[in-house]
Amino acid sequence: MQAKTENRNQFVDIMRGIAMLLVVLQHTMSGCTVGAENTFVFNIAWSLQMPLFILISGYVTKYSRPISNSKGLWKYVKRRTVAYMLPWAVWSFLVRGIIFEEDGFLNVKHLLWNMDSGYWFLATIWTISMIFGIASFIAERVSKENLLKKQTVLLGCYLVGMVLLVGIGAILGLSFFAIKLTLYYMPFYYAGFLYGQFDDRMKESEIGKKIIDSVVAICFVVWLFVILRFPLYEMSDGGFAIILRAATSLAGCIAVCGLCRGIFSSKIGGGYSCMGRRALVGSVSHALSASQLDQVGQSADSVQSGGAEPGSGQLCGYGSTYCDGNSDDEPKCRAELCINRKEKVSEFLLWAGKQSLEIYMMHGLLLNIFKSSVAIQFSSIEGYLLTAGNFALTVGLCAVVIRLLGQNAVLKKVLNIR
């Protein structure tokens, strides 16, 4: 499948950004404090982060072209290998192994059988992509016209790929090349792909929208119910625990995607940004007319990031409206400032989503800088402050390093900085 780069779905990048920030948060909690693994916050982050990444990766296959011949399959394999395994090799051997002198990353055998000590996600997503790409190629060749037959063949080939992985794992061990993790996350990838096939059709009808809302609501309740009662991360790897984890994570991902879609639109910086008319009217103290809402939406880009709150006696950016807390234009100011805040949050998440690979590769190295020599309990004021501070510093440093490395063409190419 040859991916299209035009008309990029920005909501997908926002969800990637949320997932990536959850990864950093979880690693900050477990790396900088003790006792975080059995807390509610850790349960939230752990149940969503990687499952959400994999689910989104499956979803975006809807924007790919079918693989109709062997030449297209070769291009697909080459492109995905370069995109995933080249960064894995460079950051594992060159950066972590040679530059930072982490001996484990220079021991190939140790690394291949202990992928979870490094960048296992890249190996997992590469393996899943290879199996899915080959399955898609076979399905396309067997049946181009009959959609049901094509989907059946694709699913069958995908399951055969899982069986082959089990066979390899039985011989070499499930820890080899992160096979255990790959098998766990393969259903998430297929679930994302499946939803992507029917997403647009469901939204075209009122019944479809009601079904989506109902599913999101049920998934949210189920996810919240489970993570409040079960320490998912600390459960043993028995059959019940694996099924419970997977079902809970899938429900959580569906709930988060569905709820966030109501906050963030698929386009940033235009029209109503991340809020619809109904949500916008609900955010002000007085309902605005349709023409006023249009003016508010069109003027959102002109608001300065340091815009003042209504009542502070400063210009709010809505034309030359003066917000003093008593002005008749206060609803307009509130609406515009609300849009501006939403846009800033959206832009931050969008940045994290677009730079998710770079953040994933370097955040662990940066977190080591802030590790405390004293064990601090997470469930304490000191633990909360340490986690929040280290999280903010790590994300901030990632932004700085990404910006600096991006200024050099050689480093940008070698380290896969976008």
Reported as a single tens digit per residue, the pLDDT across 229-264 is: 998 988 888 899 999 999 999 999 999 999 998 787
Where in the sequence is the domain holding 343, given as residue range(s)? Answer: 277-348
Which residues in the chain land under pLDDT 70? 1-8, 265-338
Domain assignment of residue 5, yes or no: no
CA angle 362, 365, 367 (to 5 degrees): 105
- The pLDDT of residue 328: 57
193 and 312 assigned to the same domain? no
- The pLDDT assigned to 294 comes to 44
Q: Are residues 179 and 315 in the same domain?
A: no
> Is 396 part of any domain?
yes
- 96 φ, ψ to 5°? -75, -40
256 and 302 belong to one structural domain: no
> Domain for residue 69, yes or no?
yes
**Residue carrying structure tokens 């992985």:** 165
Task: Identify whether residues 41 and 127 lie together within a single domain.
Answer: yes
Q: What is the predicted pLDDT for the residue at 288?
A: 41
Region for 247 from its dihedrals, namely left if φ exceeds 0, alpha if ψ lies in -120 to 50, beta otherwise: alpha
| Domain end among 348, 375, 394 | 348
pLDDT, residue 319, reads 40
Q: Do 133 and 236 share a domain, yes or no?
A: yes
Of the three residues 294, 320, 348, the one that is the final residue of a domain is 348
Let me know if residue 139 belongs to a domain. Answer: yes
On whether both 248 and 395 belong to a single domain, the answer is yes
Question: Hunting for tokens 């370069």 — which residue is that?
Answer: 82
Instruction: Tell me if 1 is assigned to some domain.
Output: no
Residue ending a domain, among 348, 379, 404, is 348
> Do both 204 and 246 map to the same domain?
yes
Same domain, 340 and 369: no
Residues 363 and 342 in one domain: no
- Residue 4 falls inside a structural domain: no
pTM of the complete model: 0.82
Task: Show Cβ contacts of residue 43 under 8 Å, excluding neighbours closer than 6 positions.
Answer: 227, 231, 232, 233
The answer to whether residue 2 sits within a structural domain is no
Cα angle: 228, vertex 175, 187; to 5 degrees: 55
Check whether residue 262 and residue 372 sit in a common domain.
yes
In a domain, 74, yes or no: yes
Task: Give the three-class secondary structure for 286.
Answer: coil
Q: Do both 362 and 405 map to the same domain?
A: yes
Helix, strand or coil for residue 293? Answer: helix
Task: Please report the pLDDT score of residue 331 as a whole number.
Answer: 65
DSSP-H helix ranges across 228-380 = 239-261, 277-282, 290-299, 330-354, 356-367
Q: Please tell me the total count of domains within the chain.
A: 2
For residue 6, the model assigns a pLDDT of 46
Give yes or no: residues 184 and 78 share one domain: yes
